[in-house]
């Protein structure tokens, strides 16, 4: 069996090699594990709640319809908690779908107001349909999202989207991230905008920055002493958030364990978060990220 469903999870294994597989928690449609040839690619906190009481600390939580907290009280999204409602809702498993790749296995999950977190849809009362497609090949995981505003709905709505991927790494101080040089960056800690001119991103303290309008031809690589650990490719996801909580912030997060876990994770989050997307009744918006294996490739400005 390549696709196995339980009450709370779906496990998808590659038919040619069962040690390449991913696991999705129906709560949040959160990918909580993605292994290639038995090696785990994602960080999952040992204290992550997997019982639906809290968004998952690790894996790939889904951020919709707002990234962070909207501060303008006039904006209807300001009523929602940080990172919206998708990661706090139990999605419907829709079953297998046709893969794009010859050796791919694909599954789909759906979320609509009828099944989404009731307390949160009361705060943001719009009609929407989210279809998440996850496709596994022997060397990649494609995560595709389709957001629609049904033709029957009366109003348009505005939203952000983001794949909040927690990558597993060996040691944050040996890790760097490539190919974001020359882009506009907003430092969420210093509340400052500037152009990043450093050749690579390195980590010596808490890090929380939004790189915006990064050309989709740029792949982002997470590298450990010359070895590429992860490569992220994107389509329709121009913004990238890079986050590491470091010592103090990790200490303050009850669901983050072990407290030294910040050494073994980095979030590289592909999204559309600088500007809102405006969707009218009958319109659809699609985007995707692909986590894959690639050789080290520096892309000059
Ligand atoms: O604790 P949360 O809501 O999962 O957010 C984690 C982090 O998510 C990142 O995307 C943000 O840039 C950070 O500011 C935030 O701290």
- Could you report the per-residue pLDDT of 263-296, keeping only the tens digit for each? 999 999 999 999 999 999 999 999 999 999 999 9
Q: Is the dihedral of CA 222, 223, 227, 233 positive or negative?
A: positive
SS3 per residue for the chain? CCEEECCCEEEEEECCEEEEEEEEECECCEEEEEEECCEECECECCCCCCCCCCCCCECECEEECCCCCCCCCCCHHHHCCCCECHHHCECEEEEEECCCCCCCEEEEEEECCCCCCHHHHHHCCCCCEEEEEEEECCCEEEEEEEEECCCCCCCCEEEEEEECCEEECCCHHHEEECCCCCCEEEECCCCEEEECCCCCECCCCCEEEEEECCCCCCCEEEEECCEEEEEEEEECCCEEEEEECHHHHHHHCCCCCCHHHHHHEEEEEEEEEEEEEEECCCCEEEEEEEEECCCCCCCCC
Q: State yes or no: pLDDT of 1 exceeds 80.
A: no
**What pTM was computed for the model?**
0.98
Rounded CA gap, 72 and 295, in Å? 43
Query: Which two structure tokens, joined as six digits, stand for 63?
Result: 């951020």
Q: What is the pLDDT of residue 164?
A: 99
Tell me what the mean pLDDT of segment 21-35 comes to. 98
Q: Whose CA is nearest to atom 4 of ligand 1?
A: 57
| pLDDT tens-place string over residues 87-146 | 999 999 999 999 999 999 999 999 999 999 999 999 999 999 999 999 999 999 999 999
Rounded CA gap, 215 and 218, in Å? 6
Q: Is the model more confident about 181 or about 50? A: 50
Residues 258/46, Cβ–Cβ less than 8 Å: yes
Tell me what the mean pLDDT of segment 145-151 comes to. 98
CB burial string 5-43: b at 16+ within 10 A, e below: eeeebbbbbbeeeeebbbbbbbbbbbbbbbbbeeeebbb
Q: What is the pLDDT of residue 300?
A: 72
| pLDDT tens-place string over residues 52-87 | 999 999 999 999 999 999 999 999 999 999 999 999
Return the C-alpha torsion angle 213, 218, 220, 223, nearest 10: -140
Rounded CA gap, 127 and 124, in Å? 9
**Distance between Cα 4 and ligand 1 center (Å):** 31
ipTM above 0.95, yes or no: yes
Contacts of 185 (CB under 8 A, 6+ apart): 193, 194, 195, 196, 209, 210, 211, 212
Ligand 1 neighbours (beta carbon < 6 A): 82-83, 164, 188, 208, 241, 243, 269
Tell me what the mean pLDDT of segment 150-171 comes to. 97
Q: What is the pLDDT of residue 301?
A: 65
Residue indicated by tokens 């951020």: 63
Mutate to test the pocket of ligand 1, among 164, 209, 212, 246 (most ligand atoms within 8 A of CB): 164
Q: 183 to each of 19, 110, 189, 220, how far by Cα in Å? A: 38, 34, 18, 13
Atom of ligand 1 lying closest to residue 68 CA: 11
40 is catalytic: no
**Distance between Cα 80 and ligand 1 center (Å):** 15
Mean pLDDT of the chain: 97
């Amino acid at each position: 069996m390549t696709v196995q469903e339980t009450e709370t999870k779906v496990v998808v294994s590659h038919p040619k090699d069962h040690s390449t597989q991913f696991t999705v928690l129906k709560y949040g449609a959160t990918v909580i594990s993605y292994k290639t040839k038995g090696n785990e690619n994602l960080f999952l906190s040992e204290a992550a709640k997997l019982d639906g009481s809290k968004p998952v600390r690790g894996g790939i939580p889904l951020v919709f319809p707002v990234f962070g907290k909207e501060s303008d009280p006039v904006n209807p999204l300001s009523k929602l908690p940080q990172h919206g409602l998708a990661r706090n809702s139990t999605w419907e498993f829709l079953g297998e779908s046709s893969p794009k790749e010859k050796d791919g296995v694909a599954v789909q999950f759906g979320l609509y107001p009828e099944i989404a977190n009731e307390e949160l849809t009361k705060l943001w009362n719009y009609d929407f349909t989210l279809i998440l497609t996850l496709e596994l090949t022997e060397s990649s995981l494609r995560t595709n999202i389709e957001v629609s505003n049904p033709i029957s709905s009366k109003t348009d709505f505005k939203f952000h989207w983001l794949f909040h991927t927690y990558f597993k790494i060996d040691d944050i101080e040996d890790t760097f991230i490539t190919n974001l040089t020359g882009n506009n960056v907003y430092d969420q800690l210093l509340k400052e905008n500037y152009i990043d001119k450093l050749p690579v991103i390195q980590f010596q303290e808490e890090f929380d920055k939004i790189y915006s309008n990064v050309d989709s031809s740029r792949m982002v690589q997470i590298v450990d002493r010359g070895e590429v650990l992860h490569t992220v490719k994107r389509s329709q996801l121009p913004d990238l958030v890079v986050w590491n909580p470091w010592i103090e912030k990790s200490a303050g997060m009850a669901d983050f364990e072990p407290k030294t876990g910040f050494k073994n994770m980095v979030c590289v989050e592909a999204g559309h978060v600088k500007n809102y997307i405006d969707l009218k009744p009958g319109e659809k918006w699609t985007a995707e990220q692909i986590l894959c294996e690639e050789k080290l490739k520096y892309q000059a400005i």
